[in-house]
Chains A and B, each alone.
Chain A
Amino acid sequence: MKMSFVLIEAWNGVRRNISMVVSVILVTLVSLTFVGSAALLQLQIGNMKSYWYDKAQVAVYLCTQYSTLGACDQQEASAEQIAAVETQLDSDTLSPYIDEWYFENHDDAFANFTKQFKGSPVVDLVTPDLLPQTFWVNLKDPTQSALVFEALGGMSGVESVIDQRSYLDGIFSTLNAASLTAVGVAVLMLVAAALLIATTIRLSAFSRRRELAIMRLVGASNWFIQTPFIVEGVVAATIGSVLACGAIAGIVVLFVDGYLASALPTTSFITLADVWIVFPGLLLAGAVLAASSAYVAISRYLRV
């Protein structure tokens, strides 16, 4: 079978319906950019999770003379109580799950606090004895914080046990919702793209119905008749996908790495090196979408 003939036919199709081909390119570009953005957001969430979850610790706050929470009764945690917590942390039941832990006394806590809230008027109101002494625990597996709650939560002298990951989960669920929204928009756009490709191909087939009728009469194989149309759809969609990849790369380089990274220097952001993985997926999605909708659209012209 002569590929050159098929390609020439496909090119003629593209030329004859250039405005429809452009609209296919644009709608593919927009829909795949949404798909890509959703993927970027997921990558960013994954990136932040591994960054923050590693840093997230379990804090075991001890009683101060002002606190009434937990097992506290406005009594500073005694040396015995602190030693008991330490024993628990080093015991055979807990220590296999703990990577490391350290103790922060009032002065260390105050030093950290003033560093963290430097310039804020709250610093002037806080004195070291207001801030609880704390055991900071790094777990080997950050998801197992429940073990620490169980072992230390009810002990005397312990005000509360807080897993810092619970603060992060709110942020991540917001980002997840944004990512799902992008996926939803992307799905709608992909449906529109599929219908538009089908319409374009049908129009293209209609403008070539004389050729198609003759091809069928002289016994051209179905493969031969439909391939130019599928190639036409795939070419248009692939141009759209390549542009979508360009748009994604632009978003990452200019917006994420250029703007966000300098605006929020403490947060780790994805870079172009991380998002390469998305591109083959987008190209494949565009090609498969176009090929299948073109195939369906053209098959009605092949009914013998």
Chain B
Amino acid sequence: MIRFDGVSKVYKSGNRPALHDATLEVKPGEFVFLVGASGSGKSSFLRLILREERSSTGLIHVLGQDLGRLSNRKVPAYRRNLGVVFQDFRLLPTKTVFDNVAFALRVLGRSEAYIHDAVPEVLGLVGLGNKENRLPHELSGGEQQRVAIARAVVNKPAILLADEPTGNLDPATSAGIMDVLRDINAAGTTVLMATHDTAIVNDMKRRVVELSDGRIIRDEAGGQYRTRANPIVNVDDAFPSRADSQPIAIERIDFDPIPAFDPMTPTSEAVDLSYLDRHEEDPL
């Protein structure tokens, strides 16, 4: 379905390759997470599949097509086999939910009769059956992402690419989005999802491909987010003794439910927390 053979991608401006000698095969019907830090090459990976970029070296085959040989003229027809979802939804603000989804069919020249069948069906699939006439700004973030997913799959693509689709959403809403993606995958669509969301990856227990500095460093079926490159550090391990006040990098903190906080009662413990590096100035 998707095959990368020794694929490297070097951008003109950068000397460091965005993707380095990546080899990977995704079979039909798989659900694959792409994980890795920002700049690790996840987005380049998706852009190469979309044929927004050509690989510098190596071969990419998607749906039996050699993307290196696919002429620019044939790219539109090729893309009709792919659905894409982004972190920022990319809905058209002046069009209703129905028209946003229908737009994907109208620009392909589908008949209005077909559109009036297909759009309500796919909106039902993503759980927005009753919101056809709303405008995007009248919807919550999760609902907007459902519209974007509906638009991506209304044309019944073989592959759905999702670039951090839950990046702007809270955990409960994200779980709802993942249910939708799981249903779409169960119906036979191959899903490739780039994400930073640990909980989602750990809950889904699907194939995980980890990228670091443009290299595939892990490809694990039923994998977890936690890795050597992204260790999860427990607070207890991070602070062996309270007297040790050296700053320690914490990638993630698992809190127990926070007890009710009464600001009038002084507590006996104080923890000094701050971000490091480029997040230094951010409020906690």
Interface residues of A (CB under 8 A from B): 1-2, 5, 210-211, 213-222, 224-225, 303-304
Interface residues of B (CB under 8 A from A): 50-52, 72-73, 75-82, 84, 90, 92, 103-104, 106-109, 151, 155
* Contact of A220 with B76 in the complex, beta carbons under 8 Å: yes
Give bound CA distance, A1 to B105, whole Å. 11
Given contacts A1-B109, A219-B108, A304-B72, A214 and B79 within 8 Å (CB-CB): no
Q: Which residue of B lies closest to A218 (CB)?
A: B104
* Contact of B107 with A218 in the complex, beta carbons under 8 Å: yes
* Contact of A214 with B109 in the complex, beta carbons under 8 Å: no
Q: Which residues of A contact B90 (CB under 8 A)?
A: 210, 213-214
* Contact of A2 with B109 in the complex, beta carbons under 8 Å: yes
The minimal Cβ–Cβ distance linking A15 to chain B, given in whole angstroms, is: 12
Dominant SS at the A interface? helix
A-B contact count (CB 8 A): 56
Give bound CA distance, A214 to B147, whole Å. 13
Give bound CA distance, A2 to B107, whole Å. 8
The minimal Cβ–Cβ distance linking B132 to chain A, given in whole angstroms, is: 19
Can you list 27 A-B pairs, Cβ within 8 angstroms, ordered by A?
A5-B107, A210-B92, A211-B92, A211-B103, A213-B90, A214-B92, A214-B151, A216-B79, A217-B79, A217-B84, A218-B79, A218-B107, A218-B108, A219-B77, A219-B80, A219-B81, A219-B82, A220-B76, A220-B107, A221-B77, A222-B76, A224-B107, A224-B109, A225-B107, A304-B51, A304-B72, A304-B76
Q: Quick one: which of A2, A217, A221 contacts B106, CB cutoff 8 A?
A: A2
The minimal Cβ–Cβ distance linking B109 to chain A, given in whole angstroms, is: 5
Q: Which residues of A contact B75 (CB under 8 A)?
A: 219, 304
* Contact of A222 with B73 in the complex, beta carbons under 8 Å: yes
The minimal Cβ–Cβ distance linking A210 to chain B, given in whole angstroms, is: 6
Give bound CA distance, A90 to B37, whole Å. 106
Give bound CA distance, A218 to B101, whole Å. 11
Q: Which residue of A lies closest to B93 (CB)?
A: A210
